[in-house]
C-alpha cells in the first residue's frame, strides 16, 4: 500500500457561513441595505417557528463587520472562506425581469476583494435556502419549475458576470434535501409546508435549476474565467446495525434517500431504484433534455456531513429515510459515539472515513468537504481558558475552552487525513463554522469555532479554531498563494 504524506498543497481550509445565518445586523440595517425579504423573514414571524424567537434579520452583523471577520479568519490561519450570496440581497424581488440592488452587489464585491486582500480563496454558494419571498408569493417558488428555473438562472448569471473574474469555486445549491424535506415535507424550515408530495417536486425543480446554472457556467463562463462549479449535498454515513442482509439493504436505502436522491441523477443519470419503487408516480420523471443537462453538471462532489447512524430494517413511518429505523446503538448495547447537545448528532469519526470512501467510489468525483461541526450543550456558559502564572490567572490568547469540539475535530480531521493519505481519495477542502443563526433553532445552539456575542456582536476565538487551523497549517504540504483568487 502506498501512503502519501501530508494533505495536497492546494487544499482549502477555513470557515463556512451562509448569508441568512450571519449577515443581519437588525431590521433597520437590513432595510437600508436594500435586501428584499426571503421566505425566512416570514417564517421567523410565525409564532413558535423559531425556538427562541430570534429573527433572520438580526444575527451576527457580518454586513457591517465583514472586514473584521475576514481579518480574524486570516489571523487564525485560514486560507479560504466559504460564504453564500443572498439572492434577495442582489435581486430583492428575485425574478429574471426584476431590478438589481446595486448595494447588494457592492457588498459581495467588497467581501470578495477583502478575501483576496487577505489571501483567502472565496468559495461561493449561490443558494443557501433564502428564496426571495416575492417569488414564493408570485408562483410558489420551487413548486413551479417552469417559473423558478429561469429566475434562478438569471440570478446565477448575474453572479457569474459580476464576481466570476475573482471567484473560481462555485456551489449552485447548499443541501437541497433540507430545502425539500425540512421546508416542504416536515414544515420545520421555511416556507413551513407539511406534505408527502411537495418535497419530490421541489427536489426535482432544484436539480433542474442546478443543471441550468451549472451548464451556463461551464459553457459560457468557465472558458474565460477558469473556475469550477458543483453542488453540495448533506448526507451522513448509514452503518448497517449488523451484517444481516436486510439491515445492509436498509442502510443502502437510507443512503439512496439521503444522498442518492440528488447525487444519482447528477452523476449517474437516474433516481435510485429504491426511491422509484417506494414513491411511484410521486417522483417526477426527467425529460431527455433534463437528463442531458444534468449529465456532467457538477465538476466535483460537495459534502456536508456531521454524524453517523446505525440503520435497521425495522419499518418506521419516516418515508424520507426510506422507512428505515435510524439509531445510534450497536448489537452489544453500546453506542457508536459520544452525545452532543442535539439528539441527532454524535461524534463518530470512523463514519466520516466510510462516507468519503463511499462517495468517491460511487460518484468518481473530487470531493470538497464544505461543512462539518459539533454542538456542545450549555456552551453559552463555557469559560475562557486561563493559565496560572506568578500568582495570577491569565487568559490564553482570548480563546474560549470548548474541549468537546476540539475532541470532535481531532477525530474528524484524522479521519479526513487517513482518507487522503491511506485511501488515496481526492479530497480538496474542509470548512468549519462560526456561531450563527441556526435556522429554526435560533441563536441557541452553537456550532462555531468562533464565539459570537449576539448582543454586542463581539467575536472571540475558541480553542477549537486554533486547533483546527493549526492542524491544517501543519498538514497541508506547503503554503498556497491565493493572491490571484485561484
Active-site residue numbers?
A: 175, 371
Q: Looking at the DSSP assignment, which residues form a beta bridge with residue 121?
A: 80
What is d(CA 155, CA 150) in angstroms, rounded to the nearest whole number?
9
Sign for the pseudo-dihedral over CA of 359, 360, 366, 369:
positive
With beta carbons less than 8 A apart as the criterion, state whether 423 and 5 touch.
no
> Which grid coordinates are listed for 121?
480563496
Instruction: Report residue 313 as a C-alpha cell.
Output: 430494517
**Strands 301-304 and 228-234, bridge-based pairing:** parallel
- Name which of 163, 180, 42 is nearest 104 in CA terms: 163
Residue with cell 447512524: 309
d(CA 400, CA 6): 29
Cis peptide leading into 309, omega within 30 of 0? no
Read off the DSSP letter of residue 440: G
159 φ, ψ (degrees, to nearest 5): -65, -45
* Count of positions (residues) in the chain: 486
Dihedral sign of CA atoms 14, 71, 27, 87 in order: negative
The CA-based angle 90-80-427, given to 5 degrees, is 115
What are the C-alpha distances in Å from 110 to residues 84, 163, 226, 284, 359? 14, 10, 21, 41, 35
Contacts of 75 (CB under 8 A, 6+ apart): none
Q: What are residue 450's DSSP bridge partners? A: 461
User: Alpha helices, DSSP H only, in 217-320?
Assistant: 222-225, 245-255, 261-263, 273-279, 288-294
Q: Report the distance separating Cα 41 and Cα 60, nearest Å.
A: 16
Report the distance separating Cα 115 and Cα 147, nearest Å: 34
C-beta of residue 472 within 8 angstroms of C-beta of residue 11: yes
* Exposed / middle / buried, residue 281 (Cβ in 10 Å: 0-12, 13-18, 19+): exposed
Amino acid at each position: 500500500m502506498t501512503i502519501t504524506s501530508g494533505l495536497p498543497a492546494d487544499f482549502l481550509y477555513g470557515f463556512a457561513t451562509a448569508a441568512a445565518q450571519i449577515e443581519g445586523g437588525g431590521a433597520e440595517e437590513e432595510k437600508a441595505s436594500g435586501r428584499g425579504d426571503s421566505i425566512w423573514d416570514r417564517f421567523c414571524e410565525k409564532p413558535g417557528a423559531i425556538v427562541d424567537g430570534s429573527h433572520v434579520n438580526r444575527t451576527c452583523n457580518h454586513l457591517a463587520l465583514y472586514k473584521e471577520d475576514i481579518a480574524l479568519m486570516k489571523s487564525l490561519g485560514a486560507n479560504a472562506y466559504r460564504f453564500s450570496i443572498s439572492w434577495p440581497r442582489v435581486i430583492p424581488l428575485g425574478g429574471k425581469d426584476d431590478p438589481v440592488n446595486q448595494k447588494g452587489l457592492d457588498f459581495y464585491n467588497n467581501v470578495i476583494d477583502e478575501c483576496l486582500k487577505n489571501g483567502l480563496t472565496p468559495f461561493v454558494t449561490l443558494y443557501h435556502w433564502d428564496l426571495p419571498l416575492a417569488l414564493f408569493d408570485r408562483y410558489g417558488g420551487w413548486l413551479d419549475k417552469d417559473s423558478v428555473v429561469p429566475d434562478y438562472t438569471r440570478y446565477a448569471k448575474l453572479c457569474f458576470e459580476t464576481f466570476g473574474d475573482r471567484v473560481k469555486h462555485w456551489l449552485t445549491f447548499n443541501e437541497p434535501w433540507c430545502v425539500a424535506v425540512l421546508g416542504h415535507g416536515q414544515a420545520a424550515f421555511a416556507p413551513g409546508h407539511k406534505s408527502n408530495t411537495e418535497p419530490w417536486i421541489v427536489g426535482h425543480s432544484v436539480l433542474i435549476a442546478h443543471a441550468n446554472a451549472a451548464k451556463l457556467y461551464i459553457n459560457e463562463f468557465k472558458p474565460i474565467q477558469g473556475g469550477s462549479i458543483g453542488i453540495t449535498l448533506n448526507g451522513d454515513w448509514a452503518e448497517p446495525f449488523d451484517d444481516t442482509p436486510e439491515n445492509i439493504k436498509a442502510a443502502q436505502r437510507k443512503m439512496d434517500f439521503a444522498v442518492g436522491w440528488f447525487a444519482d441523477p447528477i452523476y449517474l443519470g437516474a433516481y435510485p431504484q429504491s426511491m422509484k419503487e417506494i414513491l411511484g408516480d410521486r417522483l417526477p420523471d426527467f425529460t431527455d433534455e433534463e437528463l442531458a443537462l444534468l449529465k456532467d453538471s457538477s465538476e466535483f462532489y460537495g459534502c456536508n456531513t456531521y454524524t453517523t447512524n446505525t440503520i435497521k430494517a425495522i419499518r418506521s413511518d419516516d418515508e424520507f429515510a426510506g422507512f428505515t429505523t435510524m439509531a445510534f446503538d450497536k448489537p452489544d448495547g453500546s453506542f457508536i459515539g459520544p452525545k452532543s447537545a442535539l439528539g441527532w448528532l454524535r461524534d463518530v469519526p470512523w463514519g466520516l472515513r466510510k462516507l468519503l470512501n463511499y462517495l468517491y467510489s460511487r460518484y468518481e468525483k473530487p470531493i470538497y468537504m464544505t461543512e462539518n461541526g459539533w454542538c456542545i450543550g450549555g456552551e453559552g456558559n463555557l469559560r475562557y481558558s486561563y493559565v496560572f502564572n506568578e500568582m495570577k490567572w491569565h487568559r490564553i490568547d482570548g480563546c474560549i475552552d470548548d474541549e468537546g469540539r476540539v475532541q470532535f475535530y481531532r477525530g474528524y480531521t484524522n479521519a479526513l487525513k487517513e482518507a487522503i493519505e491511506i485511501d488515496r481519495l481526492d479530497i480538496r477542502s474542509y470548512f468549519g463554522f462560526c456561531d450563527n443563526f441556526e435556522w429554526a433553532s435560533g441563536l441557541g445552539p452553537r456550532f462555531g469555532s468562533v464565539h459570537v456575542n449576539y448582543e454586542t456582536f463581539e467575536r472571540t476565538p475558541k480553542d477549537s479554531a486554533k486547533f483546527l487551523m493549526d492542524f491544517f497549517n501543519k498538514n497541508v504540504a506547503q503554503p498556497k498563494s491565493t493572491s490571484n483568487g485561484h
